[in-house]
Amino acid sequence: MRALWLAFCDFTPFTRLIMERHRKPILDSTSHTSTVVEPHTAYPYRLNFYDKPPLYEVTLEEFETAALDRLRVLAEIESSAARNRTWEETKKVTETQCKKVLPLNSNTATSTDRHAERRRDHLGHFVLRLAFCRSEDLRRRFVKSETTLFRVRYDTDDTREKDAFLQSRAFNWTLVSAEEKEQYKRQLIAANQHSRDKVDERWLANEPFLKVRWTSVPDLVEKRRVFLKGGYAYVPSKERLSILLEEFQNNLAQALEMTSRSIPNLDEDSRLLPILNNLSHGFIAGVPSEWSGGSGEAAGDEIKADMIDSLAPAHFPLCMRIMHESLRKDRHIKHYGRLNYGVFLKVLGLSIEEALVFWRKSFSKFTDDEFTKRYKYNIRHSFGLEGKRQNYPAKSCQQLLTTDTPEYGCPYRHFSPENLQTALLSSYASQGLTVADLPEIMHHVKEQHYHVACTRVFEITHAKQGVQKGAGIGDGEHVTHPNEYAKRSMELSRPKTEESDKMAVD
């Protein structure tokens, strides 16, 4: 792990000295979980500017899971931005997601292991720095979503703790003196009229003002919402979040640049690179789904081979519908298509017996003998009944987005825009998707938010069941797994159309 920490630091002799001093006890230590710092002094606050890298040993598993969970939160933040969610909505969605996978309690919470939470937060952040420092685009996106996460936490933080945190760190501001306030009275009052408070002389007297270089608050400057004089901005303390965010953002951007220059040093550790590569895919392809049904076990009720023709058009996501249609059209589908579609159906609830019936019927241009010889083994293999007997899980969106065989991958990513639009219309027109919806979907595709595009299609085609824009597949979550899409779609149709579904089956 030595190389890892080197990657965070520039190599001035001074830093190196500090690092050596810190590292010594770790290297000498025999215990694997030892930390150099005392739990209580290590993370006195919930908020963290991540100025110091984690200088302690971690297990590979911790390394990966802390990062993955954080990535889930960041991915949700990115999608929120892509979907134009308001700040309040974004905050709510992010908080919910944080509670689930990345809890971070304030000092008043005595029953939780705050140190462990904060250590995990710290570690996850730094692992993701490694994963996302490699390209300009990844860096930009990482900085943006991390800054939003910081803002969410700042917003939800306890006032007293927030103040203590602000005191703990030297920010580049000075307090504006009463004389100076008096001198610029007229301008300070005029520049803050957008405030919700009544801005008058009394307000001015009570509101502390901070003086910073104007470059610390470009957002306020751009909107002319701050008084400028000689290169300094006079920021009322209620707007100090702007200063914080700008500093957070700039520090992180700089640190990422520095990390990217040191990353070649990581090559010597062959354990880390695969993990990091996998993580950086996460932003393109969404986070590996944690959908529990994806584990390889059949979820939901059992499905019969002859139900699939009616289920596919009603409930399958575009990737699987295309697979189904090409199977019906050609009465054949190549190896990876069989594999991807096969495990999808398996997890949907198709038993091995039914699967064999389904594939046998589908491959109608082959004789029984040919079928048994060429395909039966593969099908049984995917159920874990042959060879090394591994019960393969269904492919997640991430896998389909980054597959080597794009013809069986995610159509939103791999299809040309023209083909995708044709496919969308021909597949979903009967479920309420119109030409007018296409520009929005194609916009998400163009921005590379493929899972957002897919989620939007879900919302449009399930509007009849009362799914609203922004609701996603439930609680505003996005599609990260084809099976999740199908399962949710089937759940939605159940109460109302149970009868007719049964009839179709019969």
Query: Which residues are CB-neighbours of 332 under 8 A, at least 6 positions away?
Result: 363, 365, 366
Does position 231 bind other proteins by CB under 8 A?
A: yes
Residue 79 or 192 having the CB closest to other proteins: 192
- What is the distance between the alpha carbons of residues 126 and 149, in angstroms, rounded to a whole number? 14
Q: Which two tokens stand for residue 473?
A: 């597949």
Minimum CB separation from other proteins for residue 233, in Å?
9
For residue 232, state whether it binds other proteins (rule: CB under 8 A).
yes
CB atoms within 10 A of CB 1: 16
Residue nearer to other proteins on the CB measure, 116 or 190: 190
Candidates 2, 160, 169, 229: give the one binding other proteins (CB under 8 A). Answer: 229
Of 133 and 473, which has the nearer Cβ to other proteins?
133
Binding piece for other proteins, criterion CB under 8 A, among 48-56, 58-66, 229-237, 418-426? 229-237
User: Coil, helix or strand for 288?
Assistant: coil
String of contacts with other proteins for each residue 94-133, x by CB under 8 A = ----------------------------------------
User: Which secondary structure element, helix H or strand E, spans residue 235, and what is its range?
Assistant: strand 232-236
Cα separation, 171 vs 169, whole angstroms: 6
Q: Does 227 bind other proteins (CB under 8 A)?
A: yes
CB of 253 to other proteins, least distance (A): 9
Q: Is 319 annotated as a binding residue?
A: yes
| 132 contacts 263 by C-beta, under 8 angstroms | no
The interface mask with other proteins, positions 196-215, x = CB under 8 A, is ---x--------------xx
> Would you say 9 is a known binding-site residue?
no
Residues facing 212 on adjacent strands: 233
CB of 193 to other proteins, least distance (A): 4
Q: Compute how many residues bind other proteins; rule: CB under 8 A.
A: 26
- Terminal-residue alpha carbon distance, the chain: 61
Residue 182 as a binder of other proteins (CB under 8 A): the answer is no
Q: Which is nearer to other proteins, 222 or 418 (CB)?
A: 222
For other proteins, the closer of residues 221 and 241 by Cβ is 221
Amino acid at 318: L
Residue in 192, 259, 427, 455 binding other proteins, rule: CB under 8 A: 192
In the numeric block, which tokens belong to residue 410?
A: 């995610």
CA 62 to each of CA 167, 181, 486: distance values in angstroms, whole numbers, following the listed order: 31, 51, 32
SS (H, E, C) 177-189: CHHHHHHCHHHHH
| DSSP 3-state of 287 | coil
Query: Does residue number 399 form part of the binding site for other proteins (CB under 8 A)?
Result: no
**Least distance in angstroms from the C-beta of 188 to other proteins:** 8
Which residue in 30, 84, 159, 193 binds other proteins (CB under 8 A)?
A: 193
Q: Is residue 248 at the binding interface for other proteins, with CB under 8 A as the rule?
A: no
Q: Which one, 230 or 439, has the nearer CB to other proteins?
A: 230
Cα 121–chain centre separation: 15
Q: By CB under 8 A, is residue 244 in contact with other proteins?
A: no
Pick the binder of other proteins from 40, 186, 202, 502 (CB under 8 A). Answer: 186
Q: CB 371 → other proteins: shortest distance, Å? A: 50
Nearer to other proteins, 197 or 306 (CB): 197
81 near other proteins, judged by CB under 8 A: no
Three-class secondary structure assignment of 94-140: HHHHHHHHCCCCCCCCCCCCHHHHHHHHHHHHHHHHHHHCCCHHHHH
191 touches other proteins by CB under 8 A: yes
Q: CB of 442 within 8 A of CB of 421?
A: yes
310 touches other proteins (CB under 8 A): no
Side chain identity, residue 202: R
| 329/371 Cα distance (integer angstroms) | 18
Cα 346 from Cα 380, distance rounded (Å): 11
What is residue 211's three-state secondary structure? strand
- In the region spanning residues 51 to 70, those forming contacts with other proteins, defined by CB under 8 A, are none
- Produce one character per residue of 122-159: b if its CB has 16 or more CB atoms within 10 Å, e if not: bbbbbbbbbbbbbeeebbebbbbbbbbbbbbbbeebee
User: Do the annotations mark residue 397 as ligand-binding?
Assistant: yes
Scanning 79-87, 160-168, 225-233, 382-390 for contacts with other proteins by CB under 8 A, the matching segment is 225-233
User: d(Cα 347, Cα 492) in Å, to the nearest integer?
Assistant: 18
Contact by Cβ (8 Å): 398, 285: yes
**Smallest gap, in angstroms, from Cβ of residue 337 to other proteins?**
35
- Buried b vs exposed e over 334-343: b needs ≥16 C-beta within 10 Å? eeebbbbbbb
Task: Work out whether 136 is an interface residue with other proteins (CB under 8 A).
Answer: yes
Question: Is residue 219 close enough to count as binding other proteins by CB under 8 A?
Answer: yes
Choices 89-97, 184-192, 285-293, 399-407; region in contact with other proteins by CB under 8 A: 184-192
What is the Cα–Cα distance from 378 to 53, expressed in whole angstroms?
48
The verdict on 221 binding other proteins (CB under 8 A) reads yes
Cβ at position 201, least distance to other proteins in Å:
14
Establish whether 410 is an annotated binding residue: yes
Residue among 395, 419, 386, 365 at smallest CA distance from 485: 395
Nearer to other proteins, 198 or 329 (CB): 198
232 by DSSP, 3-state: which?
A: strand
Known binding-site positions for [4Fe-4S] cluster: 319, 397, 410, 454
Contact residues: other proteins, CB under 8 A: 135-136, 186-187, 190-195, 199, 214-215, 218-219, 221-225, 227-232
Known binding-site residues equal: 319, 397, 410, 454
